[in-house]
Amino acid sequence: MPRFIVQGGNPLHGRIKINGAKNAVLPMMAAAVLTESECVIKDVPDIRDVRVMVRILRDIGVEVELEDVNGQRHLSLKAEQIRTDTIPAELMREMRSSVLLIGPMLARLGSACMTHPGGCAIGLRPIDMHLNGFRKLNARIERYRDEVRVLASEEGLLGTDIHLEYPSVGATENAMMAATLAQGVTRIWNPAREPEIDNLAEFLRLMGSRIWGTGTDVITVEGREKLGGAECTVIPDRIEAGTFAVAAAITGGEVELENVCPSHMRAFISKMCEVGVRIIRLEDGSLRVQSPSRPRAADLRTLPYPGFPTDLQNQYLAMACAADGTSVITETIFENRFKVAEEFVRMGALIRTEGRLAVVKGVPTLSGTRVKANEDLRGAASLILAGLRAEGTTEVQGADPVDRGYMDFAGRLQKLGACISRQD
Ligand code: UD1
């Protein structure tokens, strides 16, 4: 099991380039299944979730090629022929986001089959809203043990009104993608408003879809008989940018983030300012993160976009452990996202959790020790961040989930002056 050895205490300094967003590229890769023509996705991050998605796409018959163009990774995808409507169970297990292929496969082939993705470290993560959307679009759902099969009826998918009980990111994306090849108009009410959904809509529009209303209360999709190829660039990863910003803040350092979109990070930036971290926009569009030696405490509540992202909650929690004062953190999106708190406590943090609430009394020093990451990518990254602050050596065991969402996390932290090594 890979582990990271972190020697804490070095304030981070330097400049780092942020990659394309994991949560944007995965739905875009799935959307390439909607057309038999070639699609090119630019600025694709070199992370494990992308590699798993490539394996799944190749497995179902999509031709996938990766090319380096002036230091940027481009992915070309051609789904001329899809050989199966079934996503293999073992790959489904490796990555929950493979559920995003169901909408495009259903729209293109008339059926899609997968094993239920099940729960994960951060919560139950049901897919009922995804399935309800397909049902509304005139598909039927069949279940056998943990297998879920979604089948379009004889007349195909029909445009409809879909009301989401909750602005689920994945359910919005799946409904949007399936609706692009449905007959007639689909309206998705109460959709998620995340920037990654905008990026997906942009890609779908370039493929010939008619979609409007992303970022508002209702997304409208006018179905088309066929879609064509397209080229589109992935937006910068706001969660990766936030993680490196916290790395700077938790060590009292100063780091410049290149390739960021500050308008996607308003809630995060505002919270960082509240805790005393200065975020300065530079002329070239980069962000300079300047931190005091010890950030102040401030309460936090995660919310769907444009609220504070749940995917940055654990990193904020790591910072709150060492902040000056007490922070109350409320997690409203996933029911099990404070698991990492136990490990912070082993490092000397004072945290009390109750359900979706964590009360954190900041301590001046955390102590390095051996901690264990569970199967959660952001939790694993947060333990490494806490290790950067701690006195002495922190050994983060089982931290390989960071590879799912961060390219060479240890190497890039090292370039900023962190004392970190990885042992596989
Ligand atoms: C996406 C992101 C993930 C992020 C999350 C919330 C990707 C690949 N992943 O995940 O990094 O943490 O948004 O911003 O983009 N829910 C249901 N039924 C459903 C679907 C969701 O009850 O059918 C619940 C979930 O359990 C959760 C909440 O809705 O409590 C939000 O989930 P959702 O927005 O769907 O997250 P994902 O799309 O899975």
Write phi, then psi, for 145 (nearest 5 degrees).
Answer: 50, -125
Give the model's pLDDT for residue 30. 98
Give the model's pLDDT for residue 394. 98
Question: Catalytic residue positions?
Answer: 120
- 188 ligand 1 Cβ < 6 A: no
Q: Does an H or E element contain 389, and which?
A: helix 377-389
Sorted by sequence, the CB contacts under 8 Å of residue 403 that are 6+ apart come out as 47, 48, 409
Give the model's pLDDT for residue 118. 58
Write phi, then psi, for 66 (nearest 5 degrees).
Answer: -115, 135
| SS3 letters across 358-374 | EEEECCCCCECCEEECC
Sorted by sequence, the CB contacts under 8 Å of residue 256 that are 6+ apart come out as 14, 15, 16, 282, 286, 287, 288, 289
Q: What is the pLDDT along the chain (424 residues), one digit of tens a residue?
A: 889 999 999 999 999 999 999 999 999 999 999 999 999 999 999 999 999 999 999 999 999 999 999 889 999 999 999 999 999 888 888 888 999 999 999 999 999 999 887 556 777 788 999 999 999 999 999 998 889 999 999 999 999 999 999 999 999 999 999 999 999 999 999 999 999 999 999 999 999 999 999 999 999 999 999 999 999 999 999 999 999 999 999 999 999 999 999 999 999 999 999 999 999 999 999 999 999 999 999 999 999 999 999 999 999 999 999 999 999 999 999 988 999 999 999 999 999 999 999 999 999 999 999 999 988 999 999 999 999 999 999 999 998 999 999 999 999 999 999 999 999 8
Whole-angstrom distance, CA of residue 104 vs CA of residue 31: 6
Q: Say which amino acid occupies 126.
A: P
- CB atoms under 10 Å from CB of 312, counted, come to 25
- 344 ligand 1 Cβ < 6 A: no
Whole-angstrom distance, CA of residue 175 vs CA of residue 155: 18
Beta-bridge mates of residue 371: 396
Cis amide linkage into residue 306, ω under 30° from 0? yes
Q: Torsion-angle region of residue 223: left (phi > 0), alpha (psi -120 to 50) or beta? A: beta
pTM, two decimal places: 0.97
- 311 ligand 1 Cβ < 6 A: yes
CB 98 within 8 A of CB 87: yes
Angle between helices 377-389 and 313-321 (to 10 degrees): 20
E-strand spans in 54-184? 63-69, 72-78, 111-115, 139-144, 147-152, 161-163
CB 34 within 8 A of CB 107: yes
Beta-bridge mates of residue 324: 296
End-to-end CA separation in angstroms for the chain: 6
Beta-bridge mates of residue 187: 161, 220
Write phi, then psi, for 28 (nearest 5 degrees).
Answer: -65, -40
Whole-angstrom distance, CA of residue 347 vs CA of residue 153: 56
- 50 ligand 1 Cβ < 6 A: no
CB 202 within 8 A of CB 232: yes
CB 79 within 8 A of CB 55: no
> 172: CA distance to ligand 1 center in Å?
10
Give the model's pLDDT for residue 95. 87
> 62: CA distance to ligand 1 center in Å?
26
Q: Give, using CA atoms, the residue closest to atom 17 of ligand 1.
A: 126
Sorted by sequence, the CB contacts under 8 Å of residue 401 that are 6+ apart come out as 373, 375, 376, 377, 379, 380
Q: Which atom of ligand 1 is nearest to the CA of 97?
A: 8
Sorted by sequence, the CB contacts under 8 Å of residue 128 that are 6+ apart come out as none
Q: Which atom of ligand 1 is nearest to the CA of 335?
A: 30
CB 197 within 8 A of CB 173: yes
> 127: CA distance to ligand 1 center in Å?
9
- 285 ligand 1 Cβ < 6 A: no
- 239 ligand 1 Cβ < 6 A: no
DSSP string, 111-141: EEEEE----BTTB----HHHHHHHHHTTEEE
Q: Does an H or E element contain 315, and which?
A: helix 313-321
Q: Say which amino acid occupies 277.
A: V
Cα-Cα-Cα-Cα dihedral of 121, 126, 129, 133, to 10°? 110
Whole-angstrom distance, CA of residue 95 vs CA of residue 266: 29
CB 186 within 8 A of CB 160: yes
For residue 146, the Cα-to-chain-centroid distance in whole angstroms is 25
Of 126, 110, 128, residue with least CA distance to 118: 126
Give the chain's domains with CATH numbers: 3-19+236-423 (3.65.10.10), 22-233 (3.65.10.10)
Q: Which atom of ligand 1 is nearest to the CA of 334?
A: 30
Of 112, 113, 264, 144, residue with least CA distance to 199: 264
Query: Count of alpha carbons within 13 Å of 160, Cβ hemisphere only?
Result: 16
Q: Give the residue, out of 29, 52, 168, with the most ligand 1 atoms within 8 A of its beta carbon, to mutate for a pocket test.
A: 168
SS3 state at 40: strand
